[in-house]
Amino acid sequence: MTQTSDNVTWLTQEAYDQLKAELDYLSGPARAEISAKIAAAREEGDLRENGGYHAAKEEQGKQELRVRQLTQLLENAQVGEAPAETGVVAPGMVVTIAFDGDPDDTLEFLLASREYASSAFETYSPQSPLGSGVNGKKVGEDAAYELPNGKQAKVKIIEAKPFSG
């Protein structure tokens, strides 16, 4: 579960441990592996036409970006408990909404940081237009958010329950 507010990301212990393990792998064994790939490709000769070298350097860049993202996320993380079932939408909750109040046109999603996306649910960040529109609303209330075309969309909060993993 994650909850972001004022650059603090709330994580369950399980989520923190999972992200920390990924960071440890990427900054240790994975970093050594990519360095070995780059060195092996460099040995092949002319770097201007060496596809393996350029692919390995690109992979290294992506890996280092992920290391920086995880480092920043974990530096600002606080480990805590899942939100309580209060009927109020908050990060770390599975939210069901009805578009334009139509009970047949619904969406169920996890309101959480993309770092803790669930394969069971589509995940929306609390900073996304939909996420910020529903965050803090009570079950039964209407919410509005801005679509990419600039128009407003209206939804009704049907359910908000803590995500159990």
Give me the CATH number covering residue 122. 3.10.50.30
Arithmetic mean of pLDDT over the chain: 83
Report pLDDT digits (tens) over 3-45. Answer: 444 455 667 677 788 889 999 999 999 999 999 998 988 888 7
- pLDDT value of residue 41: 85
Together in a domain, 68 and 26? yes
Tell whether 21 and 44 lie within a shared domain.
Answer: yes
Determine, yes or no, domain membership for 22. yes
- Confidence at residue 96, expressed as pLDDT on a 0 to 100 scale: 93
Q: How confident is the model at residue 139 (pLDDT cuts 50, 70, 90)?
A: very high
> pLDDT at position 125, please?
84
Specify the 3-state DSSP secondary structure of 100.
coil
- Taking only the tens place, the pLDDT of each residue in 63-95 is 999 999 888 888 877 676 556 667 888 887 889
Residues 105 and 144 in one domain: yes
Residue 7's domain spans which residues? 2-79
Give the Å distances, CA to CA, from 63 to 20, 41, 75, 77, 103.
Answer: 15, 18, 18, 21, 43
Mean pLDDT lowest among 1-10, 81-90, 105-114, 121-130 = 1-10
- In this structure, the answer to whether residues 74 and 28 fall within a common structural domain is yes
**Residue 72 shares a structural domain with residue 109:** no
User: Within the chain, what is the greatest distance between any pair of CA atoms?
Assistant: 66
Residue 88 domain flag: no
Q: Give yes or no: residues 69 and 111 share one domain.
A: no
Q: What is the CATH number of the domain that holds 33?
A: 1.10.287.180
Average pLDDT over residues 131-139: 92
The total domain count for the chain is 2
Same domain? For 105 and 151 the reply is: yes
How much of the chain, in percent, has pLDDT values that exceed 70? Answer: 82
Per the domain annotation, does 158 fall within a domain?
Answer: yes
Same domain, 60 and 124: no
Token pair of 76 as six digits: 């600002």
Position 83 scores a pLDDT of 60
